[in-house]
Structure 1
Amino acid sequence: MIETVTTGAKVRQFLYILVPILVTQIAMFSMTFFDTIMSGRYSAEDLAGVAVGSSLWLPVYTGLSGILMSITPIIGHLIGGGEQKKVSFSVMQGVYVALFIAAVTYVLGLLCLGPILGAMNLEENVRRIAFEYVIGLSFGIIPLFLTAVLRGFIDALGMTRTSMVITLLSLPLNVLFNYLLIYGKWGFPELGGVGSGYATAITYWIIFFLAVWIIHRHEPFSMYRLFHTLPKASFIKWKEIFLLGLPIGLSIFFETSIFSAVTLFMSEYNTNVIAAHQAALNFASLTYMIPLSVSMALTIVIGFEAGANRWKDARQYSLIGVSIAVSISLLCTAGIFFFREQVAYLYSTDSEVLKLTAGFLMFAALFQLSDAVQAPVQGALRGYKDVNVTFMMTMISYWVIGLPLGWALAAFTDSGPYGYWIGLIIGLTCGAITLSLRLRFVQKRKSALPA
């Protein structure tokens, strides 16, 4: 990361940071993407089971790992303010927090997974597949959260290409393990969709060990000497991580768990509807990696500029990021709309599932524009370390407006299961508007401060 003067230099630096993040996010999500597709090719029940399991796992993972996203702005502010000597200590405290969060996740899973699946009106085999899929994933929880901290450190240094290389090296291995464990090839057990959970857990461990090796052996990471000493736990630093990270994690949790709640409500429909809904949602989540990546890049560059009190530069970066996200989302909207039938065929060959998936993808196309605004704006606000109001706005938009409205449309109109998607789109739009207003307010307040 370097200080930039012209708009052109800012665009180049932003793209230099953004593109590797985007590739990394798509590669990370592709693990779930391939889990769903390869399970769907095994059977419709495995597609539904893996889809339900992943929809329960995703909000838990994104919400808790969202807490660890605070590492990026914390390190960014330290580097921007010339306090490099404090970086290693902060990262190691993040590692301790990651281990604590992993332990909490295991306890939550032990207490809640069975009752939640039991409350859903699923066919017994679908319920079994969902349960065992999450159990398989659970073996990768510890490396997943530890890697989130290490990636926050790597990205805060502006070395996002390193995260990209690590993930790209591991993605083919994930597909290979899926093939072996889902279909029982080369002497491996034939586990169906459940096998994809174990395959992903193995891949998480590979990513973690690659990240540790690179941080130990290569500059500029090795100069910070992570893991060379183990400092005592600092609850003051933990407090900083949680005060900044909890609102981020809760904001992400409320955003992602809304889709799990919809899945829970949709359990009243048959297996084909559930499978189609989750297939469309899975693809919409893939395209969401674009605004999410812009969001993460904005947190890095704005955190760097805010740490140096360069408020005008931070504002310019926010405009660049949102403009890029909106431009790309227009292309994604058109692509999903015109090629929805071809996309549906990726997930299933069942004629009814294909028809339903294509219908859900019509609404997924409309997701793109609202996501293109609200996600980057959230990232910009995190760069300013403004997270509490963001969390409240997200919760209200999704849970007070989006979900109740979707339920009402599904229950009392002819929209049926599509009513939930309409409600979600309205909730996303409300979030995009209110968050944009909040960003404007924060930027005006910061611009009044001395440079």
Structure 2
Amino acid sequence: MWPDVRKIVALAWPVLIGQLAIIAFAVIDTAMVGRYSATDLAALGLGSSIYISVYIGLTGILTALQPIAGQLFGARREAEIGEEVRQALWLTAVLSVIGFVCLYFPQPLLSIADTPPALHDRTLAYLRILSFGLPAGLAFRVYSSLTNAVGKPRLVMFLQVGALMLKVPLNLWFIFGGFGVPALGGPGCAIASTMINWLIAIVGITVLLRVEFFRPFGVFSRFCWPVWQRQKALLKLGIPMGLSYLIEVTSYTFMALFISHFGTTTLAGHQITGNIGAVLYMTPLSIGVASATLVSQALGAERFDAARSLARHGIALSCGIACVYGAALFALRPYLLEAYTPDSQVIAAAMPLLAIVVFYHFFDALQITTAFVLRAYKVAVVPTVIYAVALWGIGLGGGYLLGFNVGGYTPAWLQGARGFWVANSLSLGVAGVGLFLYWRHISTRHLPDDRVRAGAEPV
């Protein structure tokens, strides 16, 4: 077990630091905008939910490059990796157009929230600014998928930490104004994010051009047009992966849209709770990325026993750490909320939600780590079905029934935002167990026949 854990941790910690740097973008935005105005904080919560839905859905498609490149790297077929990256960049161009249109014209989604005019206008401005940074964000995802696939996550981490160092001063400048720039509030942090997205995308492309490690891949050694067979392979894996990401994120996005009906204070409390949950999520996400990298490389080298062992230990590590995080979160709830906002009403709205996150996070760790391992096996369709049934059916459907007291049978403590968070926790538990059982089935199929007949090692 411990050799596997050491390998996973060695790859996971740079991913974790990089992901914490990125999630710190949202934490910084929330903390700074929260001190600008409650309306802008609510607009940030609503706008970021919509943006993340679009961004994650599209980058999920591009993440198909990671298991493909990882298996090629494990099989020592480096020249083919460059061709796959070029095809992924063509796909990025198409997805950028789709994403830009969705973000620049978000009125259909905003109409669901039934927001007051002031909140609608601030959210619209925020999303339109971010639409111009989306192509750079998608290009950077190609870079990060490649570097993670070949076991070089530090090259992503350095750029993400550098971006965070720029985020604070740029946010201060554009949110609160100064040096000839008026105070812009929530839309100001969107300007800062857009500028940073373009900067790290340009630097990432430069790394692929200049760093010696990537030269055998020949990413930019020649020009090529889209090749349908390779595009088809990317889309066959990427579309269900992107859809599973989209289902996961929209289960949260539509929570925000529905919770907005309970008022600005409740929505602000939900935004802070979601922000803290997202910070916790970065650890199992990082372990999932690291585990998937090692599993895909082992599969490419046809070391199927090693792949199964790495996957099993990655899932166990993720769930164990989630238990520790949950205990710490429950004890530190009051102090965390006071760090986010001085508004006592928002703190009161968020306090019970954070207690639910203790259970929510364990199930979240189980499902995301197992999902990444399954993607390393190039399996995505069945996990997407599991996500749809659990997160949309139980999570959103159950949350709507509880939160709005449909039928009149919901106890008072389960109504409102709490009903949505409880239902979402249950849905993650169903998804996590379903994905884990499916992984056991898939991993057994990849074992040699004599190992299957003898029975795989217990999980």
* Residue correspondences, number: 444
Residue by residue, what CA displacement relative to the aligned partner does 1:302-343 show, whole Å, maximum 9, x if unpaired? 110111111110011112211211121112111211111111
- 1:345-360 equivalent positions in 2, closer than 5 A: 345-360=338-353
| Residue 175 (structure 2) pairs with residue 175 (structure 1) | no
1:209 corresponds in structure 2 to 202
Residue by residue, what CA displacement relative to the aligned partner does 1:163-182 show, whole Å, maximum 9, x if unpaired? 11111111110111111000
1:303 corresponds in structure 2 to 296
Root mean square deviation, CA, Å: 1.5
For residues 152 and 442 of structure 2, what CA distance do their matches in structure 1 show?
28
How far off is 1:96 after superposition? Answer: 0.7
For residues 356 and 421 of structure 1, what CA distance do their matches in structure 2 show?
13
User: Which amino acid in 1 is paired with 2:40?
Assistant: D
Q: Does structure 1 retain, via aligned residues, the 8 Å contact 2:80–2:217?
A: no
Q: Does structure 1 retain, via aligned residues, the 8 Å contact 2:104–2:128?
A: no
1:284 corresponds in structure 2 to 277
User: Which amino acid in 2 is paired with 1:277?
Assistant: H
Residues 294-303 or 373-382, more deviating: 294-303
For residues 191 and 336 of structure 1, what CA distance do their matches in structure 2 show?
33
For residues 449 and 197 of structure 2, what CA distance do their matches in structure 1 show?
43
Q: Does structure 2 retain, via aligned residues, the 8 Å contact 1:92–1:231?
A: yes
Residue by residue, what CA displacement relative to the aligned partner does 1:382-419 show, whole Å, maximum 9, x if unpaired? 01111110110011011112211111112222122211
Q: Does structure 1 retain, via aligned residues, the 8 Å contact 2:341–2:347?
A: yes
Match of 2:182 among 172, 189, 206: 189
Match of 2:5 among 3, 6, 11: 11
For residues 450 and 215 of structure 1, what CA distance do their matches in structure 2 show?
43
Residue 35 of structure 2 aligns to a residue in which SS?
helix
For residues 266 and 237 of structure 1, what CA distance do their matches in structure 2 show?
42
1:435 corresponds in structure 2 to 435
| Residue 263 (structure 2) pairs with residue 270 (structure 1) | yes
| Residue 45 (structure 2) pairs with residue 45 (structure 1) | no
Residue by residue, what CA displacement relative to the aligned partner does 1:68-90 show, whole Å, maximum 9, x if unpaired? 11101111111111211111111
How far off is 1:220 after superposition? Answer: 0.5
User: Which amino acid in 2 is paired with 1:435?
Assistant: L
For residues 124 and 343 of structure 1, what CA distance do their matches in structure 2 show?
31
| Residue 112 (structure 2) pairs with residue 119 (structure 1) | yes
Closer/same/farther in 2, CA of residues 426 and 8 from structure 1, 3 Å limit: closer
- If the length of structure 2 is used for normalisation, what is the TM-score? 0.94
Residue by residue, what CA displacement relative to the aligned partner does 1:103-134 show, whole Å, maximum 9, x if unpaired? 111222344x0122133232322221111111
Q: Does structure 2 retain, via aligned residues, the 8 Å contact 1:329–1:369?
A: yes
Residue 222 of structure 2 aligns to a residue in which SS?
coil
Residue 261 of structure 2 aligns to a residue in which SS?
coil
Match of 1:165 among 158, 164, 170: 158
2:455 corresponds in structure 1 to none
Q: Does structure 1 retain, via aligned residues, the 8 Å contact 2:51–2:127?
A: yes
User: Which amino acid in 1 is paired with 2:446?
Assistant: K
Residue 288 of structure 1 aligns to a residue in which SS?
helix
For residues 119 and 398 of structure 1, what CA distance do their matches in structure 2 show?
19
Q: Does structure 2 retain, via aligned residues, the 8 Å contact 1:67–1:249?
A: yes
How far off is 1:63 after superposition? Answer: 1.2
1:3 corresponds in structure 2 to none
1:362 corresponds in structure 2 to 355
- 1:93-108 equivalent positions in 2, closer than 5 A: 93-108=87-102
For residues 116 and 256 of structure 1, what CA distance do their matches in structure 2 show?
14
Q: Does structure 2 retain, via aligned residues, the 8 Å contact 1:77–1:307?
A: yes
Residue 159 of structure 1 aligns to a residue in which SS?
coil
For residues 166 and 110 of structure 1, what CA distance do their matches in structure 2 show?
27
Q: Does structure 1 retain, via aligned residues, the 8 Å contact 2:25–2:167?
A: yes
For residues 187 and 95 of structure 1, what CA distance do their matches in structure 2 show?
38
For residues 115 and 82 of structure 1, what CA distance do their matches in structure 2 show?
47
Q: Does structure 2 retain, via aligned residues, the 8 Å contact 1:154–1:221?
A: no
1:4 corresponds in structure 2 to none
2:50 corresponds in structure 1 to 56
Q: Does structure 2 retain, via aligned residues, the 8 Å contact 1:136–1:195?
A: no
Match of 1:249 among 242, 246, 259: 242
Match of 2:191 among 198, 209, 230: 198
1:416 corresponds in structure 2 to 415
User: Which amino acid in 1 is paired with 2:391?
Assistant: Y
For residues 129 and 347 of structure 1, what CA distance do their matches in structure 2 show?
21
Match of 1:236 among 226, 229, 232: 229
Residue by residue, what CA displacement relative to the aligned partner does 1:356-378 show, whole Å, maximum 9, x if unpaired? 11121111222111011111100
- 1:47-86 equivalent positions in 2, closer than 5 A: 47-86=41-80
For residues 381 and 152 of structure 1, what CA distance do their matches in structure 2 show?
16
2:131 corresponds in structure 1 to 138
Residue 447 of structure 1 aligns to a residue in which SS?
coil
For residues 430 and 122 of structure 1, what CA distance do their matches in structure 2 show?
32
- If the length of structure 1 is used for normalisation, what is the TM-score? 0.95
Q: Does structure 2 retain, via aligned residues, the 8 Å contact 1:139–1:198?
A: no
Unaligned 5+ segments in structure 1 are 1-6
Residue 262 of structure 2 aligns to a residue in which SS?
coil
Match of 1:386 among 379, 382, 387: 379
Unaligned 5+ segments in structure 2 are 452-459
2:454 corresponds in structure 1 to none
For residues 31 and 185 of structure 2, what CA distance do their matches in structure 1 show?
12
How far off is 1:10 after superposition? Answer: 2.8
2:84 corresponds in structure 1 to 90
Q: Does structure 2 retain, via aligned residues, the 8 Å contact 1:244–1:385?
A: yes
Residue 182 of structure 2 aligns to a residue in which SS?
coil
Match of 2:308 among 299, 309, 315: 315
How far off is 1:232 after superposition? Answer: 1.5
Closer/same/farther in 2, CA of residues 92 and 270 from structure 1, 3 Å limit: same
For residues 170 and 223 of structure 1, what CA distance do their matches in structure 2 show?
28
Residues 275-284 or 120-129, more deviating: 120-129
For residues 179 and 207 of structure 2, what CA distance do their matches in structure 1 show?
32
Residues 298-307 or 227-236, more deviating: 227-236
